[in-house]
Amino acid sequence: MSTDDARVAGRRVVHKARSRMAARLADLLKRDPYLMSSAVETGLVRREWLESPGSGEPVSTATPMEVLERWLERSVEQRPSTLAKLGLSTIQILSDTSEDGTGEGVPARLAVAFTDLEGFTRFTATEGDEVASRLLAEHYKMVGPVVRSRGGRIVKRLGDGFLLTFPEPEAAVLACLELVSLQPAPLRLRAGVHVGEVVVMPEDVVGHVVNVAARVAECAKGGEVLATGDVRDTAGGVRGAVFGRARRRSLKGLEPVLVCRVSRG
């Protein structure tokens, strides 16, 4: 056997061994829902790989700081007392993305999504504040795991809605579709997604792209996810999602943009 043949044979053996180990790891995680959700939400394991163990590398590209931030966020959601033990300042300092701690904005290319619950104001008026507050609390618990499992970030809550960012438009679209499927009855969630250059702050994200995403969300109806033509073009084909025909929409205070409806496929 030549040296080249030996190398090829060696690579095949390693590939088969890694494939077997990947299948075993995926099987282990799937048999333990808590372990699986923890690994995916915190960014230790790629959700796409878990759904299809043969698709690429299992380990997420999330940085150690991103993993820590997601873990802290998840812990505080599940056990609010964690915030009191750590102290708000600890979480804020760890979440500060600037190297010198000044909190200055960092430019980045991200997918930005806005969500809200259609008819929430009317629901509050008819059902009362207590019922509405309970509904919102349950909704908040649903949103965090979905967003984190797609590598996203909850930038801030906006009443009954959220401002979210994702590293890729595919992740933003799939997360929004999943959130629509988990909308709290009798209300319906709507979402708008855009992608482009933004400025990331410790507790906010700003820029023209953010404004467009917000206006696109306003155009959506309950139970609907709308995305700009830029999202469709950048994402290309998204497994599990279908982009409808793009139409030019007039947005309040902004130039018209191409917008299309996204549905599960």
Q: What is the pLDDT of residues 80-117, one digit of tens each?
A: 554 445 544 454 445 554 455 555 789 999 999 999 99
Spans of all domains in the chain: 1-62, 63-95, 106-264
Digit-coded pLDDT (tens) for 41-66? 776 677 676 666 555 666 666 666 66
pTM of the model: 0.70
| Residue burial 16-53, b: 16+ Cβ < 10 Å; e: rest | eeeeeebeebbeebeeeeeebebbbbbbebbbbbbeeb
Question: pLDDT tens digits, residue range 156-203?
Answer: 988 889 999 999 999 999 999 999 999 999 999 999 999 999 999 878
Of 28-37, 167-176, 198-207, 236-245, minimum mean pLDDT range:
28-37
The Cβ of residue 154 has, within 10 Å, a number of other Cβ atoms equal to 17
Fold of 106-264: Alpha-Beta Plaits (3.30.70)
